[in-house]
Every structure is written in C-alpha cells, then in structure tokens.
Amino acid sequence: MLGTRILTAVIGIPIAIYIITYGSWLFAATILLLALIAWHEFFTMMQAKNIRIQYSIGLIGIILALGCAWLGNAQELVMVMMLAILLIMAQTILNHKNFGVAEAAFTILGTMYISLPFAHLLLLRFTDQYDYMYTAFGNLSAGAVYLWLAFLGTWASDTLAYFVGSVLGQHKLCPNISPGKTVEGAIGGLVGSIAGVASMGYLCGLPLLHMIFLGILIGIAAPLGDLAESVLKRFTGVKDSGNILPGHGGILDRFDAIMFSVPVAYYYVTVFIIA
C-alpha cells in the first residue's frame, strides 16, 4: 500500500507542478474534471446510504459554478447557487413521492460542498494572474504563488501531523470520527503548516508575519476539512470516497483538506495581502 501511494505521488506531483504553475485553461479544465469526479463520489456515497439525490441538477450546478469562477464573476456564482437550490427544492413538489426534504437537503449539501471549494481553487489561482512575482523559482504568476502557499501549507500540515502523531500521539483528537488522529498530531500539523507557508513565502519575498498568520489559519482549516469528510464517510459507511487514485482513495479523500484550506487562503490573500 505504501509503495502504491509513493508511486502515485511520484507520477502525480510533477504533473501537478506543471498544471498549477503554467496551467491557465489546462488548470481550469483539470479542476472541473476533479470536481465532477468528486460529485460522482458523493453521489455514490449517498447511494450506499440509500439516499437519492438529484445527480443532474448538482452536476449542472457544479459546471456553471466553476464556469463563473473561471470568469471571475462572484455575483453570477451566487446566482447559480440560488438557481440550483430553487431547482432542487422544486423537485420536492414535482417529484414528491420519490424526492423529499431529506433528499433535497443532501443534494444541496453535496452541490455546495463540492462546487464552492473547487470554485475557490480557480478564484485563488487566477487572482492577479497577470502580475508576476520574482521568486527563487523564477517569475511566477501571483495567483500561482498564492495557490502554492495553500497547497504546501496543507501538505506540510498533513505530513507532519502523521509523523508526530505516529511517534508522540497519546491523546485522541476525535475518536468517534477519526480514531487515528491525536492532539499531538494536530499540534504537529499546525507547526508544519506554519513552516510550509513561511518557507514558501520567504522564497517568494512575501511578508513573514502574514505568512505565519496564514499558516495558522491553514493549519486549522486543513484538518477540519479532513475530519468533515470523515464524518461523511462514517455516515454513509464507506471506507474511501473512491478508488481513482491508487493508494490514496478518491478525489474527496485527497482534496478534503484542500477544500477547506484554499477558501481560507483566498480570503486572507484578498483582504490582507492584495488590499
């Protein structure tokens, strides 16, 4: 299993570096594909619990939401989400024998849970995309730098939390949700996030104090995203959201922490660094 995980990472990381750093339309298309796979995984998880959700409405809502994010239209993004909610609730009237309030609630949850975080991946990547920073890696788009801050902070958090928890973990963090996570691991993850964001920020010439604060926020948001997906898996009784990534599970398994940390990074960058 560990060998499979490492092989997947060895293949995936260079591809991810290229797509994130130089992607543009390729990055947008990749994020859309990942979001649609994540939606299918959510649908399959709900099926395991015998919960019927409106697959097509959620699918269209996700496509339109990411399209709005690609164009940078926040107001239209709200309109799309409102339209999706109205269409979903309308189904409780038009198809009331097979589609009730519970089904509508889970459809809305899945649509929002997937579309909005993945939309923020696009919003963050294309923030100030025509402004370039001189970094230790050469000239990079500002949006690419901001996205790397979120990714590296999340990955550093996950990695250090695992190793610290494995070696020093004594006190369970959320035993009813994720028995393997410990308080010591969470603290290690927080330190890892701060170190990862601060290191990337230093190499890109960004203010250290901002990087520390952003690292703290990512170090809190990332494990919450992980635990939120664990709640969904426990609720539906599945071990992994999917098996598309050998050794890593599904897209939701791999992006659960990113789905929480990227929106946090986007709003921090927008409010404090850009402004």
Written as one string, the DSSP assignment of 119-166 is HHHHHHHTTTTT-EEEETTEEEEHHHHHHHHHHHHHHHHHHHHHHHHH
Predicted pLDDT of residue 137: 86
Predicted pLDDT of residue 18: 86
Residue with tokens 């922490």: 257
Q: Poorest-confidence range of 79-88, 118-127, 128-137, 225-234? A: 128-137
Rounded CA-CA distance 240/254 in Å is: 10
For residue range 206-223, what is the model confidence (pLDDT) as tens digits? 999 999 999 999 999 999
Among residues 138, 154, 116, 136, the alpha carbon closest in space to that of 22 is found at: 138
Q: Are 4 and 247 in contact (CB under 8 A)?
A: yes
Among residues 227, 235, 221, 216, the alpha carbon closest in space to that of 253 is found at: 227
DSSP letter, residue 272? I
Greater confidence (222 vs 245) lies with 222
Q: Is the dihedral of CA 15, 21, 26, 32 positive or negative?
A: positive
Predicted pLDDT of residue 5: 58
Task: Inform me whether the pLDDT recorded for 111 exceeds 70.
Answer: yes
Average pLDDT over the chain reads 90
Predicted pLDDT of residue 19: 87
Q: What are phi and psi of 45, to 5 degrees?
A: -60, -40
